[in-house]
């Protein structure tokens, strides 16, 4: 079994001062940087996923902007793959699956943001494609949300999505 670390959308717009800040993103990035450092030391395959909107008027991750760039806390090394995506699911219309197959990867560790969107979509797709998946919860970030007149804190959103993934899609640690 070959392991890969997938860093999803740890990009500038999710940090304070960005167009779409995620609560406690600095804390998430610190945890993500530790996971990345450990994965590099272990010789794991590293893949950075970078989301870029298709429209210059998108609310965030606008094309060719600093906000759409990977945050310096987890900056890729030259030998690490960076895959561009345009949808929440990191496998959708990208070379991610083919890249993982070419490198005999069978187990993924997934970290990044946002838990309720791109982490959820990517982890579910990975499991559906047959990968064993681990999610490091403290290295994933969520935003507060509301639905049906009920407001949820970022912590509540995080707990709801991590619990759902832990039920059938991933080992959540």
Q: Could you report the per-residue pLDDT of 115-161, keeping only the tens digit for each?
A: 999 999 999 999 999 999 999 999 999 999 999 999 999 999 999 99
HSE on the CB side for 133, CA within 13 Å?
27
**Total of domains in the chain:** 1
Q: Is beta strand 171-172 parallel, antiparallel or unpaired with respect to 132-141? A: parallel
Q: Which residues belong to the active site?
A: 118
Q: Is beta strand 145-147 parallel, antiparallel or unpaired with respect to 105-113? A: unpaired
Contact status, residue 74 vs residue 40, Cβ threshold 8 Å:
no
DSSP characters over 109-129? EEEEE-IIIIIHHHHHHHHHT
The residue assigned the tokens 């009920």 is: 150
Tell whether the model's pLDDT for residue 1 goes beyond 60. Answer: no
Q: CATH number of the domain that 113 lies in?
A: 3.40.50.850
Closest CA to 18 of 82, 88, 66: 66
pTM as predicted:
0.97
Q: Could you report the per-residue pLDDT of 50-59, keeping only the tens digit for each?
A: 999 999 999 9
DSSP, collapsed to helix, strand or coil, labels residue 49 as strand
Residues contacting 68, CB < 8 A, separation 6+: 11, 12, 13, 50, 51, 52, 53, 61, 62
Range of the structural domain that residue 166 is part of: 2-172
């Amino acid at each position: 079994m070959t392991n890969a670390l997938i860093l999803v959308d740890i990009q500038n717009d999710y940090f304070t001062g960005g167009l779409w800040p995620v609560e406690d993103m600095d804390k998430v990035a610190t945890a993500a940087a530790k996971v990345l450092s450990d994965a590099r030391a272990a010789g794991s395959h590293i893949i950075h996923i970078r989301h870029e909107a298709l429209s210059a008027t998108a609310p965030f991750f606008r094309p060719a902007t600093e906000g759409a760039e990977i945050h310096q806390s987890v900056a890729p090394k030259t030998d690490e793959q960076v895959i561009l995506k345009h949808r929440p699911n990191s496998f959708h219309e990208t070379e991610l699956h083919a890249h993982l197959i070419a490198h005999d990867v069978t187990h993924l560790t997934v970290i990044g943001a946002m838990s309720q969107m791109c982490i959820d979509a990517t982890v579910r797709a990975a499991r559906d494609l047959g990968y064993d998946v681990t999610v490091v919860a403290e290295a994933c970030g969520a935003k507060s949300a509301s639905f049906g007149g009920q407001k949820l804190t970022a912590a509540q959103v995080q707990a709801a999505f991590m619990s759902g993934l832990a039920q059938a899609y991933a080992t959540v640690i």
